[in-house]
Amino acid sequence: MNDPLLTLSQPWIVHCDGSAVPNPGRMGLGAVLVAPDGTRHVLSKATDTRGCNNEAEARALILALRDAQALGATALQIYSDSSLLVAQLGPAGAPPVLHLAALYDELAILLATFAHTSLHWIPRHRNDEADTLARAALGLAPKGSVRLTKKKRRR
């Protein structure tokens, strides 16, 4: 039987991603939230505004954080393939990107509402599901896997 107190202290796993097509252009947001009990919540949403890929990444995390709050999460392990997002919100605090400052301020406030959060950069190929959800929000197919093949020599 699951102990409710143990479940409350265990972190939710969050993968988020954003797409802008073209860049800048229409923005699609995607996120996957996995509760400590394994329950999965997926988010796929197109925005009404246009923006760049970095704005889409930030807005995807905002969407995920608001959903996590609504679901009662208190601790989060967050994964993103956006090195800018992770650097801006990390402990070192990279120099601010002025046109994104308001979004990062909003993210900092949202992150502070949780008892514990950790934010991690992951390679793009390990964030496929969130990327697929962001692209689906824009009516786009998932990105195909890249295959490296040797070119045949002509004789």
Among 146, 133, 140, 121, CA closest to 17:
133
The mean per-residue pLDDT over the stretch 68-94 comes to: 93
Residue 151: pLDDT above 90? no
Task: For the full predicted model, state whether its pTM sits above 0.85.
Answer: yes
Percent of the residues in the chain that have a pLDDT greater than 90, as a whole number = 81
Spacing of C-alpha 133 from chain mean position: 10
Task: Please give the angle made by the CA atoms of 23, 95 and 19, to the nearest 5 degrees.
Answer: 20
Asked whether the predicted pLDDT for residue 1 surpasses 50, the reply is no
On the CB side of 6, CA atoms within 13 Å amount to: 4
User: What is the per-residue pLDDT for 66?
Assistant: 98
Look-up: residue for tokens 């197919």? 141
Query: Domains in the chain and their CATH numbers?
Result: 4-137 (3.30.420.10)
